[in-house]
Amino acid sequence: MFSRFFHVILRNLHHIYMIPQMEYVSRHPEKYSEEEMYALDRLAIRRMMRPGHITTQGYGMENLPCEGGYIMCPNHQGKYDALGIMYTHDKPCSVVIDIEKSDFILVKQFINLVRGKCIDRNDARQSIKIIREMADEAKAGRKFIIFPEGGYLHNGNDTTVFKPGAFKSAVWAKVPIIPVVLIDSYKVFEEHTLKPIKTFVYYLKPLYYNDYKNMTTVEIARTVQGQIQNVLNMYKEGKLANDPELP
């Protein structure tokens, strides 16, 4: 189905030992630090990228707050999205994933290593519980990735409506919201080719609590989506072609 996906698997068969290794490390937080667990996930990402002919360039890392927790809110393009962010994000961060996608081999170990959150979008009570957990942990200094679109609709470098509920954890914790722009991330596993692919991750300036405290979550969602779509439009119009840094 995904030629690049299966190619990556075949080229990494000699690294299959990493699956039980990741499982073991994730089950023993008393032995391994959060940084060590995150490093193991990033190693797995790098080992996937090389044979997959994937490169990812990050920009705007200077916009990330130096201290404390925050919530990163990217557009959602495909299966590579969280991996591209983690590859460019040096400090340990976690991710929120749909519970239906969380129990596959390797995905499960990957998520467990970063103490990811599995959310059931069909269960309102469970969803609120997860959002409250995120808020508590972000307030304590943890960093999260959550996709406000809820899923991806194979719409390339365009966004769909951002769901207001995705921003509740940030509001409750009063932590910064980081709009994150993913460009060409969908091409990694959607295009039926092994040609080299380059993706981009842009970390935009944070919305701090004082910036959004008087906004509803609907207004926050529209603001973040608008900022992300503006950068996507710049890319599609060729305005980032020669100088990928944002003006």
| pLDDT tens for each residue of 14-66 | 888 899 999 999 999 999 999 999 999 999 999 999 998 999 999 999 999 99
Length of the chain in terms of residues written: 247
* C-alpha to C-alpha distance for 105 and 110, rounded to whole angstroms: 9
Asked if residue 1 has pLDDT above 70, the reply is no
Q: Which pLDDT value is given to residue 107?
A: 87
CATH second-level architecture of 3-236? 3-Layer(aba) Sandwich (3.40)
Number of neighbouring beta carbons within 10 Å of residue 16: 11
Sign of CA dihedral 216, 219, 223, 225: positive
CA 193 to chain centre: 24
Asked if residue 198 has pLDDT above 90, the reply is yes
* C-alpha to C-alpha distance for 65 and 167, rounded to whole angstroms: 18
Six-digit token pair at 50? 């090389």
Q: Which pLDDT value is given to residue 126?
A: 93
Element (H, E) at 17: none
135-166 pLDDT, tens digit each = 999 999 999 999 999 888 889 999 999 999 99
For 21-135, list the strands marked E by DSSP. 54-59, 70-74, 94-98, 117-119
Element (H, E) at 107: helix 107-113
